[in-house]
A and B are shown apart, each in its own frame.
Chain A
Amino acid sequence: MTTSTLTTPAIASTMDRRPPALGGFSPAVLLIEMRRILRNRRTLIFTMVMPAVFFLLFGLPQRGELLPNGRQVLAWIMVSLAVYGAMVATTSAGAAVATERALGWSRQLRLTPLRPAAYVATKVATAMILGLVAVVVEFAVGAAAGVRLPAYVWLLAGLATWLGSLVFSALGLLIGYLGPAENVMQFMGPVLALLAMFGGLFMPLEMLPHALQRIAEFTPVWGVGQLARAPLTGDPVSVGVFANVLGWAAVFALGAAWLFRRDTQRV
């Protein structure tokens, strides 16, 4: 008798082998991603609890004050803080890539048929769902605290806030692909707060010195903030606002795409 192992006929798997549909992008994975996020207290605090608390702390004392067009200052503060919540939500969801790279999960994924583009699509979708939740929560707190607006203003301001946060999911991905790091949001949290201040989310920019105001108009949050509040204030959306939003969107998205390509070609 010879050794048996070499003569054992190779029995191939009887499974029907095929690559995954949509490169591995699936709603079921999104659901698990959402569960992960809802389990993360820090994310919930920074994207939902903090903006709500800020609103109650700084908004409520201004109850009854009105904007030049007769709408409530409270609504202005609510939309601004919704932009803040959504930007933190989308940035942190995108930046989760850095953590997953640090943990070696990205390497593990390279041993599955999941396409890198499907992975990024999952991250963007997760970021946008979390961003939407952040906007809805802030708006709900606002409505409960007495913000009254016509339905179309709620809708348009909400949509602008939410879609504007796409810019920050791109920023999150850019940071995520910049380098593997386990706690990138510890660094990004303060950076986002600073950008939000220059974007006029925590106070009107008119309260800043004139030179700073001019500089602020070139920072990445300003455009999205202006866009989100336009349905409320009725201010016309200037070319500068569009240039700011599209410009930063392009910078972040192209940067993220470049780093992403570098990462996937590293083989």
Chain B
Amino acid sequence: MTSTHPAVELTGLRKSFGPVTAVDGLDLTVHAGEVVAFLGPNGAGKTTTIDMLLGLARPDAGEVRLLGGTPADAVRYGRVAAVMQSGGLLKDLTVAETVRMTAHFFGRTRPVAEVLERAGIADLADRPVGKCSGGQQQRLRFALALLPDPDVMVLDEPTTGMDVEGRRDFWQAIRADARSGRTIIFATHYLDEADAYADRIVLVRQGRVVADGTTAEIKNLAAGRTVRATLPGADQAGLAALPGAETVEVRGDSVLIRTGDSDAVARHLLTRTAARDVEITSHNLEDAFLALTTAGGHPTAPAPALTAPATIGA
């Protein structure tokens, strides 16, 4: 079965709960085989978006296409599976019973022993679910998601509430699985998880995508600096053409240049212009994340600011 459709296509997605707008015109296309981190603070609309993506919630507006069809079709044929944040397990079943029972709900599945093995819980097969730790239960949810051998796997903040060891074990299981061609979308609010496991990071804030790029691009954005100088009558277009310059803002006699190459910009300002009082400030990953994902954050960081400058060494 070859598919020319994107794995996921979300267009103009909107969802409100009473007066609260959880998702506000979200667009996202994910291609087959991508590993995408859906990164944002709590309340950014990640879980609501995932619910709509899976057909667990109906959008107020916009469209969801999953593997070219509706979420319900994808679920019916076992082409999508999800690891939800919490709940969803019967405490009085054993780990193996849970997997066996769920397997009967699908037309075809991978063998029960295989998914237990791949999720790293083969040794817990006979343990009652109620006696499993949070991390073990999460690996059980992962085993259930592996059953239909889905083309798209969605994980909603899969490591919330786990200790460091639990998180590491869980991601090890996910990485060990890495079926070639499987699309993985995971929501997280941990920067390091997005950094370590995703090829692409989609930053969401207040129900919208505020930045979208490869991990390297996001890192580059984060690693960027701002060069500020006093330069009356600055040539804005000329400055914007400097290598690495991302945005140029003129405020009265001041000019602020966001750049991936602050040295080049500073050198240019000091040698080719009358600029004085040159200041260079840096941002780290955390700053970029906060700036992009908190209300009233950095005003000069709209989504299109992300370009793909030289990624060498990034």
Contact = CB atoms under 8 A, between A and B. Distances in A.
Q: Do A and B come from one complex?
A: yes
A31 B101 CA distance: 10
Contacts of A24: 104-106
Interface in B90-127: 90-93, 97, 100-102, 104-108, 110
B19 interface: no
A8 interface: yes
Interface in A180-200: none
Nearest to A104: B87
A20 interface: yes
B84 interface: yes
A103 B89 contact: yes
Nearest to B100: A32
A113 B3 contact: no
A107 B83 CA distance: 12
B195 interface: no
Nearest to B109: A15
Contacts of B110: 15
B181 A9 contact: yes
Nearest to B97: A32
Interface of A is mostly: loop
A107 to B, nearest CB: 6
A100 B90 CA distance: 7
Contact of A12 (B2, B57, B86, B93): B2
Contacts of A12: 1-3, 151, 181
Contact of A20 (B86, B104, B149): B104
Interface size class of A (residues with CB under 8 A): 35 or more
A107 B56 contact: yes
B81 interface: yes
A69 interface: no
A267 interface: yes
Contacts of A6: 31, 33-34, 199
Interface in A1-52: 3, 5-6, 8-13, 15-21, 24, 26, 28-29, 32, 35-36, 39-40
A18 B108 contact: yes
B281 interface: no
Contact of A19 (B57, B58, B92, B107): B107
B76 interface: yes
Contact of B88 (A20, A35, A103): A103
Contacts of B229: none
B33 A20 contact: no
A190 to B, nearest CB: 23
24 contacts: A9-B33, A10-B32, A12-B1, A13-B79, A17-B108, A28-B100, A29-B105, A32-B93, A36-B90, A39-B92, A103-B89, A105-B89, A107-B87, A108-B87, A108-B144, A109-B105, A110-B75, A111-B80, A111-B82, A112-B78, A112-B106, A113-B75, A113-B105, A113-B107
Q: Which A-B residue pairs are the 6 nearest by beta carbons?
A: A104-B87, A10-B32, A108-B88, A11-B181, A114-B105, A18-B107
